[in-house]
Amino acid sequence: MTTPSEQGGSLLAIDVGEINTRAVLFDVVEGRYRFLAFGTARTTAQAPQNHIMEGVLRAISRLEEITGRALIGEDNRVITPGSLDGSGVDVFITTMSAGPPLKVLVVGLLEDVSLASAKQLVSTTYAQVIETIGLNDGKKPEERLDIILSCRPDLIIIAGGTENGATNSVIRLVESVRLACSLMPKEQRPEVLYTGNQALLEEVENKLGSLTKLYKSPNVRPGLDVEQFSPAQARMAEIFRSFRISQIPGTSDLDEWSGNRLLPTSTAFGRIIQFLSKVYDPTKGVLGVDVGASATTIASAFDGELTLGVFPEYPASLPVTEEDLAIELALTRQAIRCSISCASDGFPKKIGLSADGLLPWFEPIVATGSVLTQAPSYGHSLLTLLDALQPTSITTVVLDQSNLTAPLGAAASIKPFISVQVLESSAYLSLATVITPISNARPGSPILRLRVTYESGDETSFDIKQGTLEALPIPMGEAARLRLQPLNRSDVGMGGPGRGGSVRVVGGILGVVIDARGRPLLLPGDTGRRQALYKKWLWTLGG
Amino acid sequence: MLAPVVHILPITRIRRHRLLPVAGRVLIRKGQNINPNDVVAEANLHPHHVLLDVAHSLGVPKGDADRYLERDAGDTVSEGDVLAGPVGWNKRVLRAPCSGRIVLSGDGKMLLEEEKPPFQILAGLPGVVAFLIPGRGAVIESVGSLVQGVWGNGAVGFGVLHVLIKKPDDILTMDQIEVDLRGKVILTGYCGEEQVLRSLSELPIQGLVLSSMDSALIPLAKEQPFPIVVIDGFGVLPMNSLAYNLLRTSSEREITVNAEKRDVYTNQRPEVLISMPVDQVVQEPRDTIVFSPGQRVRIVRAPHQAKIGTLIAIKTDLDVLPNGVKAKIAEVELENSKKIKLPLANLEVLE
């Protein structure tokens, strides 16, 4: 593979998902990076193929058909570097979510402190906690030993001990891990990530280093009220890569093609959300939702501080009937709702969910995943997201139609400009600017008086009633000025209940949407009435 | 496009890996004829350890305790055996609290692994041991009729097939449960009643092959000691015609029900096998197939779930389904000659 160049050049990104493998091509057009095309093929990580390269080559081959560019050489490898005749690419990157989740055993001191942080760390990649061992779990040393031997984890994460804090208690837990490892055949020993008190690094190395592969990262919980995930997350990504290389044939080839930079899809997705949070208003967060076949990823970032959560899982076939589609989208709502609820545990304490469980202010919200991007209409996609996320204040909901966010995240470390330039292109579709007045008023009561001044100078005014969903037909890309006057002490995110003001908004493909249905969203218990409301809301959003 | 493959075959050769999740002891030999309930390999999956404080038990300082040890690491001991001592005028000793093996000793402590019945992996099908995988298990080869399902409760069983099903959409009801089903493998349609499963368990039976099942019964089904294989899915679904015709004509024959969980990475599926001695060479079925017209396919999602048909055509471009979803579309002719269009992703090839 060629050394990645900072200057220009084409980029081929492979994303190996649980069901589909995607090959995405970016290149410089008129001095700026553009997304050109993508090809997909069924992922071949599962039996009977059990080798991902078959799916990768099929996806690239499909991309060759679409673009007319030769990308694979006679040696069945990607042609690099790109040549003047358009064949080949200059940079190759890979992201991956396929494969069974890593089985992780978490060891720490206190349930609400180091164990909570370690569990949060596990949720940042495609992994699941299968057991926990804590200082206060009441278990004898031999019971801890039996737990480790019985559950046969792929990875043990040891956390605990704040900086300048506990040492002896941590070492006792490390001793249990050491004993368990020493009793297992070498090839079955779990790998260990130590992310506890850094004063013990040498002692931990002495106890575990010769027994198994030991990863170390800065303390995930350096203080009782302080968490730092970024360094440990990078380690988790490294461990994920290492496991996938050993678990799934073909992964090592793909990793080699990409210069040993294979990333978990969730990590790459999170990178872009983190980047956006640095670009946009630091007082608000940026939210990313990726509904995949194996997991839903929720990435939220506040002023550059990323919280990442990966939550399994989702079906693979396609709905044919209206009823089946409604069931699938209901499952999607539930998957996102559960995921955001779990992910919110990791939001910064000063920003997290409010007392009544409302989402903090995110602007923008970026969503992707085939269940959203391939929904029958943009209205289906937006309504699903509004119902599941229940955003607050004023936000823009953006659809990543071609699932580019993770590839861009992977490319960001090699070609920083590509992310910026593609994000600014039309590859990302603004569904709508969404305004959410929140009020305790009775359904039907006016809660917001709205005056719209269009670019043409035309003006219109009307009241929004509690319990309704309205769409203003502001064309895509056109700006308008809204004068928001809350009624009945409703809160539109302009400084508190009853406070209004003027705001400039830009129309998305569905214009500007006023979601006055209430927070939290309470649906009628009667099935018929619920169905009628759903149809009405969908009709409002264009059917 | 690569197709998922499911096997419903009147005669085929199959090879199945039977492996322990950890290293253990293999109890069969290459070339051996085996039955479904034969133990292939065993291992101690869930060890139980006891940590003994030798110094405290003998009432001596920690540093002196090792002098009194009577048994070494690696020794096998029986319950009541003296492990350390005697010490002092009253001859204090430390006895083994259970039978087992001494794993470690020293620094005034002793770690004992209790002797427990091992976890055993069963053959799951009748056949011949094709080859051994040292320390892990074996590959077993068999010839017979094979029907693969979509869900299994994890158990393995073997018995004579009793056909209760009269038509593909039959429903298993309490009035069909009679004492002469005891010890049999039952072939029936949809099961939606908890009481039916409990009654079958009380008989007991050797196995249950269903066309479909109420998903609410999954927890109860997992508790049953006999294997349960669901052929077509959850909800009220008729049995697909291929499986129905194949199994219904196999009444009173010996049948193996291997209700192992589906594992997409090892290609493990719940399945039933009717073994038969065959002289001629029988090929293994193909597992890797690309969708192409002429193939027999099964539909895996509503509408038409569990129906079988022939793939007539695959459209190259995306098309719009009745609900507005865009998908790659296949045209399928059902067994009643009706032609339908549905997503290619909702098909699996019957091979």
d(CA A179, CA A156): 13
Q: Which of A48, A55, A188 sits opposite B288 (nearest CB)?
A: A48
Residues A79 and A184 in one domain: no
Per-residue confidence (pLDDT) for residue A351, from 0 to 100: 64
Give the closest residue to B80 by CA, choosing from B93, B89, B90, B92: B93
A96, A121, A139: which is the final residue of a domain? A96
Tell me the ipTM for this assembly: 0.84
Residue B293 is classified by DSSP as T
Residues A321 and A411 in one domain: yes
A150:B46 CB<8 A: yes
From A50, A72, A96, the end of a domain falls on: A96
Looking at the structure, tell me whether residues A516 and A401 fall in a common domain: yes
A189 secondary structure, DSSP code: P
Please report which confidence band the pLDDT of residue B108 belongs to, taking 50, 70 and 90 as the band edges.
confident
Residue A251 lies in a domain: no
For strand B137-148 and strand B271-275, is the pairing parallel, antiparallel, or unpaired?
Answer: antiparallel
Which pLDDT score, from 0 to 100, does residue A85 have? 82
- CATH level 3 topology of B49-114: OB fold (Dihydrolipoamide Acetyltransferase, E2P) (2.40.50)
Which pLDDT score is estimated for A354? 56
Q: Do A88 and A108 belong to one domain?
A: no
Q: How far is A227 from chain B (nearest CA, A)?
A: 35
B264 to chain A, any CB pair closer than 8 A? The answer is yes
Dist CA A4 CA A411 (whole Å): 10
Query: What single-letter amino acid sits at A40?
Result: T
Q: Do A142 and B51 touch (CB under 8 A)?
A: yes
CATH of B291-350, one of 2.30.30.30, 3.40.190.10, 3.40.50.10320, 3.40.50.300: 2.30.30.30
* CA nearest neighbour of B255 among B275, B229, B233, B240: B275
CA dihedral (B261, B262, B264, B267) positive or negative: positive
Judge whether A253 lies within some domain. Answer: no
Tell me, yes or no, whether A408 and A528 share the same domain: yes
Residues of A in contact with B23 (CB under 8 A): 185, 188
Check CB contact of B21 with chain A, cutoff 8 Å.
yes
- Judged against a pLDDT cut of 70, whether residue B277 lies above it is answered with yes
Q: Which helix (H) or strand (E) holds B66?
A: none
Across the interface, of A47, A321, A375, the residue whose CB is closest to B264 is A47
- Say how far apart CA B10 and CA B247 lie, in whole Å: 9
Report phi then psi at A257, rounded to 5: -55, -35
pLDDT tens profile A135-174: 888 899 899 999 999 999 999 999 988 998 889 999 999 9
Among A residues 150-169, those touching chain B with beta carbons less than 8 Å apart = 150, 152
3-state SS, residue A62? helix
Q: Give the chain A residue nearest B328 (alpha carbons).
A: A318
A541 to chain B, closest Cα gap in Å: 15
The highest-level CATH class for domain B2-43+121-275 is alpha beta
Query: What residues of chain A lie within 8 A of the CB of B103, using their CB?
Result: 183
Exposure of A7 by Cβ count < 10 A (0-12 exposed, 13-18 middle, 19+ buried)?
exposed
Among the partner-chain residues A141, A316, A320, the one whose CB lies closest to the CB of B322 is A320
DSSP code string of A137-188: S---HHHHHHHHHHH--SEEEE----TTS--HHHHHHHHHHHHHHHHS-GGG
A158: domain CATH number? Answer: 3.40.50.2300
Residue B23, number of CB atoms within 10 A of its CB: 14
A38: domain CATH number is 3.30.420.40
- Answer yes or no: is A30 within a domain: yes
Same domain, A137 and A206: yes
Residue spans of chain A under pLDDT 50: 1-6
The pTM for the full model equals 0.87
Dihedral over alpha carbons A118, A124, A126, A129 (to 10 degrees): 20
Cis amide prior to A524 (ω within 30 degrees): no
Answer yes or no: do B267 and A142 touch at CB < 8 A: no
CB contact under 8 A, A47 and B265: yes
Q: Are residues A79 and A106 in the same domain?
A: no
Residues contacting A440, CB < 8 A, separation 6+: none
Q: Kindly state the average pLDDT of the residues B162-178.
A: 95
Residue of chain A minimizing CA distance to B21: A152
d(CA B142, CA B308): 26
| Per-residue pLDDT at A61 | 96
Residue A90 has what pLDDT? 92
Quick check: A186 contacting B, CB < 8 Å? no
Does A455 lie in the same domain as A393? yes
DSSP B249: T
Residue B302: the pLDDT is 87
Q: In this predicted structure, what is the pLDDT of residue B164?
A: 95
Structural domain boundaries enclosing A55: 11-96
Angstrom distance (rounded) from CA B14 to CA A228: 52
- CB-based contact A325 B50, cutoff 8 Å: no
Is residue A288 within 8 Å of residue A405, measured between CB atoms? yes
Domain regions of chain B by residue span: 2-43+121-275, 49-114, 291-350
Distance of CA B334 to the CA centre of its chain: 31
Pick from A150, A320, A321: CB nearest B45: A150
Q: pLDDT digit string (tens) for B194-251?
A: 999 999 999 999 999 999 999 999 999 999 999 999 999 999 999 999 999 999 999 9
List, in order, residues 6 or more apart from A260 with CB less than 8 Å away: none
Q: How far is A172 from chain B (nearest CA, A)?
A: 15
Domain count for chain A, please give it.
Answer: 3
pLDDT at A3: 39
Task: Provide the edge-to-edge strand list for the sheet that holds B339-343.
Answer: B5-6, B347-350, B296-299, B308-320, B326-334, B339-343
CA distance A159 to A173: 10
pLDDT tens digit string along B301-314?
Answer: 989 999 999 999 99
B6 to chain A, any CB pair closer than 8 A? The answer is: no
- Assigned token pair, A44: 């071949």
